[in-house]
Amino acid sequence: MNYRAIKGTKDILPSETPRWQFVEQTIRDVFHRFNYKEIRTPVFEQTSLFARSIGELTDIVGKEMYTFVDRSEESITLRPEGTASVMRSYIQNNLGQEQPLAKVYYIGPMFRQERPQAGRLRQFHQFGAEATGSPTPETDVEIIALALEIYKQLGITNYSLQINSVGDEECRPKYKEILKTELRKIADKLSPESQKRIDQNPMRVLDSKDENDKALTAAMPLITDYLNEECAEHFERVKKLLTEYGIPFTVNGRLVRGLDYYTKTAFEITSTELGSQDALAGGGRYDLLIEELGGKKTPSVGFAAGMERLMMILEKKGFAAPEPHPMIFIAVAEDSARDWVLKKTMELRSLGIAAETDLLRRSLKAQMKEADRQGSTYAIVIGTTELEKGKGLLKHLSDHSQREVTLADLHQYIRNDGTNKT
């Protein structure tokens, strides 16, 4: 039996982890700058948490969740997204009681059983933020700016921002009825998928990629034309602030997110650098979700972004992350010096110096080659001569220079000299 990683899952190998770590660190730095604090929730929850928040009729809940019954007969689901868990935690831990506005972020694996393809895995990673407790449009814009700042910090510029307002519990139902009426008139001409959605989720029909559907619905009324005063004002303010911040965007009145909980602002960041799965991030406001989950009605905004898609772009750009390297490689010239070298290596490591030595009992030549391959800054060869004299030649591998050093003080010669970066 040759074991393989489960379909749609991937190992992130040692050659790739430096890039992941660098990107994760950049993401955290930006979140911290915006004063968002990390929250870590379990990767699985009661199935109904997701069903209720994301929506029973969505594809995610309907056909993509990893759901199983555990040994105590409880239905468990591996989280397909982050917001539901965070909101559950917000309610459970009364985070709203500690401060009026809770700003949190998360980063971690999510699970959806879809057919894998470029930019889509079954276990993938998302980072995201939620600002809970604020109804203001300035909070929406902070969330959008936050997401964009991360891409900016990573040197990603080739993206576009689309925004929409999907209305609230007052104006959206009214609009939906109007839209349904219009759609029914041409129902028989629409694609089968769209026909199904007319009653369940008519707004999704307008977001269909089917060219024929697009043409047929081109003149349909848009939600943005039916917003009530509050939603319209909110939307105007969001657009005004984005403009003032110098953030380019386009309004897409057909943008509907695949999760049911959004109200008012919805947005999506896409990139042409990606394959057909071109969404880098998406999010919006969800003022009704917390109440829906049994908490006190609390307005909230957030976004989620895909790590793998971000990594795809960086890889394409030839982005190189700094990799850790040994500071010094201590080579063993003769077996008689081996124990001293091993002990010295450990000693240097305790002093905070990245030190490496030979564990394979290889030839000196092979050890030097290894030191070079590891990108070690220094190398020193230790044999009986060196141990007798208490001195050795410390070699700088990139400029070939050597200097005689006292072995007892080895750490002092390398501590503040050179660098362990590439």
Sites of contact with RNA (CB under 7 A) = 4, 7-8, 58-60, 64, 81, 112, 114-121, 124, 126, 193, 204, 207-210, 257-259, 268-269, 275-282, 304-306, 308-309, 333-334, 362-366, 368-373, 379, 381-386, 392-393, 395, 397-398, 400
Which residue's entry shows tokens 């984005």? 242
Residue 226 near residue 174 (C-beta atoms within 8 A): yes
Closest separation in Å from C-beta 191 to RNA = 8
Pairing of strands 355-357, 328-332: parallel
Q: Is the CB of 88 or the CB of 96 nearer to RNA?
A: 88
Answer whether 303's CB lies under 8 Å from 267's CB.
Answer: yes
Provide the minimum distance between the beta carbon of 332 and RNA in the complex, in angstroms, as a whole number.
Answer: 9
Q: Which is nearer to RNA, 18 or 375 (CB)?
A: 375
Closest distance to RNA from the beta carbon of 336 (Å): 10
CA distance 130 to 81: 13
Least distance in angstroms from the C-beta of 99 to RNA: 27
Contact 141, 266 (CB under 8 A): no
Token code pair at residue 111: 């699970």
* Residue 117 per-residue DSSP state: B
Smallest distance, RNA to C-beta of residue 372, A: 3
If the CB atoms of residues 39 and 371 are measured against RNA, the closer one turns out to be 371
Q: Within 10 Å of residue 82's Cβ, how many Cβ atoms?
A: 22
Shorter beta-carbon distance to RNA: residue 8 or 108: 8
Using the minimum distance from each CB to RNA, give the nearer residue, 96 or 314: 314
Closest CB 49 distance from RNA, rounded Å = 16
Burial 324-335 (b: 16+ CB within 10 A, else e): ebbbbbbbbbee
Quick one: 60 or 242, whose CB is closer to RNA?
Answer: 60
Amino acid letter at 290?
I
Residue type, 162: Q
